[in-house]
Amino acid sequence: MTRNITINNKIYPTKLKKTAIVICLDGSQKEYFDKALEINLMPNLKELIENGSFHLAHSAIPSFTNPNNISIVTGQPSSVHGICGNFFFDPISQQEIMMNDPQFLRAPTIFEKFYNQGLKIACVTAKDKLRTLLGNGLKYEDKRAICFSAEKSNESNENKNGIGNVNDWLKMSVPNVYSQELSEFVMAAGVKLLNDFNPDIMYLSTTDFIQHKYEPGHPTANKFYEMFDNYLGLLNSNKSSIVITADHGMKSKSKNDGSPNAIYLQDILNQKYGINSTRVILPITDPYVVHHGALGSYATIYVNDLSKIESIIETINNIQGIDVVFNKEDACKKFNLPPDRTGDIVCMSDENMTIGSSIEKHDLSGLNEPLRSHGGLFEREVPFITNFKELKPKITEQIYNYEAFYYAINNAGKTS
């Protein structure tokens, strides 16, 4: 009999016969794989799919990086874990509060729970902003956990990350935060950790710098997936149970002249309802805005005079390029959002449109290529690729990216 553990309402085996590996390839819209497979740049992925499975899953909403990475490592959407963007607005203090600190996490991670069962955990992320959230609850003194970022690999040490001198160990220097190498570092570290550390559970999370800049099939994007495929070949064996997915998709969001396609929603609402009557929150906003200029496909709006909500919803609904708009209650129910960190209204934009705040708030000077971005329903479809045939025990027909560890670990614990 296998012993089981329940984590955030899902049941996992605790005796694993293989290393359960989840790879989150940031921003990997399905077409990136299609294009690279088409010209035979991903032989290892091709073989993996032939012996495994390829599905399309839904991401959590908003289809942003942090909410989905946290969903993947807790197994639940943000209504459970609380992280619904890079920051939220607190109407009482009137402050915008960053959510990159573990104090905002409302659920334990799968890593923490398995670590407490005595298993070995390895977790590598590209950007450091995710590391403290992902590593929350891990302890490093007994050498059973390793968690570090490529970005701050030179600052890693035994007490804080379970490993020091990462750059010497991996023989790779610290990559630039805006580079393909940042993601390559994650994959190289994953291969070396599998061999040197032999974890029971491993999470590798890359960054979408390439995907924000280059469309599927672009030579630079193809090079990224070719690089990934090399490492995948080294991770895939009958000793590993692998799920490859993405935190969100990625769509072109520019006009024909190359300029960003955006609805500056705060300007529109200010003009119609007056300044300070509404507050448009874009939870994509973060310190790393060079590749998207804080323009995504999701916004939540706080309204001062609640009697105006219906009128404001109608106004937003009539803006060309808006896909859906809901009041808070409906949005939270439909998309599993935490009500206390969601505004009075939620809206998302069309496939090729983004939502901005006020035009002067967006610094677009760093956007050297036509805008590609994400956040809404058009970017929630992501690949879900496994090196095993059956997803068991099946939860529901609609697969979610945050079921990646559930299926990887259940397959790793299989008795046959």
Rule CB under 5 A: which residues touch Zn ion?
Answer: 26-27, 65, 208, 247
Shortest spacing between CB 26 and Zn ion, in angstroms: 4
When the beta carbons of 27 and 383 are compared against Zn ion, the nearer one is: 27
When the beta carbons of 59 and 153 are compared against Zn ion, the nearer one is: 59
Report how far residue 136's alpha carbon sits from residue 84's, in angstroms, rounded to the nearest whole number. 17
Shortest spacing between CB 213 and Zn ion, in angstroms: 13
When the beta carbons of 70 and 312 are compared against Zn ion, the nearer one is: 70
Nearest residue (beta carbon) to Zn ion: 65
When the beta carbons of 132 and 270 are compared against Zn ion, the nearer one is: 132
When the beta carbons of 215 and 247 are compared against Zn ion, the nearer one is: 247
Shortest spacing between CB 64 and Zn ion, in angstroms: 7
| Burial tier of 93 (Cβ tally within 10 Å: 0-12, 13-18, 19+) | exposed
When the beta carbons of 151 and 200 are compared against Zn ion, the nearer one is: 151
Name the percent of the chain in helix, strand, coil, to the closest 5: 35, 20, 40
Look up residue 68 and give its two tokens: 């989905």
Shortest spacing between CB 211 and Zn ion, in angstroms: 8
- 162-166: Cβ within 8 A, 24+ apart: 162/138
Q: Give the up-direction half-sphere exposure of residue 327: CA atoms within 13 A in the CB hemisphere.
A: 9
Shortest spacing between CB 86 and Zn ion, in angstroms: 11
User: How would you label 189-215 residue by residue, b for 16+ Cβ within 10 Å and e otherwise?
Assistant: bbbbbbeebebbbbbbbbbbbbbbbbb
Shortest spacing between CB 24 and Zn ion, in angstroms: 8
Report how far residue 33's alpha carbon sits from residue 46's, in angstroms, rounded to the nearest whole number. 10
